[in-house]
Copies of this chain bind each other. A is one copy, B any other.
């Protein structure tokens, strides 16, 4: 049995995956704040899964953890997971002694990409675009995640698409994330509310000009990110995930309108049939936790090769 955890800013989602890839148990709990509380959350999530009757006699082979922030390639160390109150944490070293199995740590967007590809099945290439507080992407081809040379693959949120666009928290102008990242859009909206992006869509539907502008910018940014993934990596499909995709068809329609505008302008873009290549990850799908379990399994497989080979 492989365990996979997705440690999010508010919730931690944990699954147990059988050797055939089926999810046999799942648990969710609130994520604690700061390094110690994050470690305790992870241990509690594993205990919660192990208490599931489906795992009563199962052998736990590995634990994979998806978590926001930068993960040094090949290490289990997390940096700049600001939404968790973690500046730096050697997470694998902190949890492995208590767990007693190989632990692997990966950026949550990369884990979600791998999980989404597994949930979709097949071997087609897939780009995953995470629309959350920030914006980042990952690419999976033949079931393999592209990690890049220095762990920075998929940071397309910081490509500028408009030199006259809003200033990004990174310092540039017109970054895709400045137009379409949930945090940046909420800050530009500037009104309180638990679901600011939904409020913006509602206000735009009611004719509020500022909301219409923000909604259009958001869709422009998402459409640009989709084009970046297809024109660079030529992925078959781009799957959208992350909190903003809870807007479902309301988001999809805005993004499709932007893609159709560029397809109308350009025969080349029209030939790419981008609208047909975009999907939204079903709400509640355990993509990141499943992907984390698959990444943990890689670690265990490598250890077995080392000890047997």
- Any B CB within 8 A of the CB of A56: no
Residues of B within 8 A of A173 (CB): 265
Interface size band for A: 35 or more
Can you list, as one digit per residue, whether each of A209-239 has a CB less than 8 Å from chain B (1) or not (0)?
A: 0000000000000001001111111111000
Residues of B within 8 A of A234 (CB): 146-155
For residue A137, which residue of chain B has the nearest CB? B232
A residues 54-71 touching B (CB-CB < 8 Å) = none
CA distance A171 to B171 in the complex (A): 30
Interchain nearest-CB distance for A231 vs B (Å): 5
CA distance A170 to B265 in the complex (A): 8
**Residue pair B228, A152 in contact (C-beta under 8 Å):** no
**Residue pair A231, B124 in contact (C-beta under 8 Å):** no
Interchain nearest-CB distance for A129 vs B (Å): 12
CA distance A47 to B232 in the complex (A): 37
Query: Which label, helix, strand, loop or mixed, suits the secondary structure of the A interface?
Result: loop
CA distance A137 to B228 in the complex (A): 12
Residues of B within 8 A of A148 (CB): 125, 233-235
CA distance A163 to B151 in the complex (A): 30
| Selected interface stretch from A241-249, A267-275, A282-290 | A267-275
**Residue pair A228, B230 in contact (C-beta under 8 Å):** no
For residue A236, which residue of chain B has the nearest CB? B149
**Residue pair A233, B231 in contact (C-beta under 8 Å):** no
Residues of B within 8 A of A147 (CB): 234
CA distance A238 to B170 in the complex (A): 23
- Any B CB within 8 A of the CB of A266: yes
Residues of B within 8 A of A227 (CB): 159
CA distance A164 to B156 in the complex (A): 21
**Residue pair B125, A155 in contact (C-beta under 8 Å):** no
Q: Known contacts A125-B148, A125-B149, A148-B125: does B232 contact A268 (CB below 8 Å)?
A: no
Interchain nearest-CB distance for A229 vs B (Å): 7
Residues of B within 8 A of A266 (CB): 158, 168, 170-172
Nearest 3 pairs of A and B residues by beta carbon: A148-B234, A153-B234, A171-B266
Residues in A lying within 8 Å of B, measured CB to CB: 124-125, 137, 139, 141, 146-156, 158-164, 168, 170-173, 224, 227-236, 262, 265-269, 272
Knowing that A149-B236, A159-B227 are A-B contacts, what are 12 other residue pairs whose CB atoms are under 8 Å apart, sorted by A's residue number? A125-B149, A146-B234, A147-B234, A151-B234, A152-B230, A152-B234, A152-B272, A153-B233, A155-B234, A155-B268, A163-B164, A232-B232
Interchain residue pairs with CB less than 8 A apart (16)? A125-B149, A139-B233, A148-B235, A149-B234, A152-B231, A153-B232, A153-B234, A154-B234, A156-B228, A156-B231, A156-B232, A158-B268, A170-B266, A171-B269, A232-B232, A233-B233
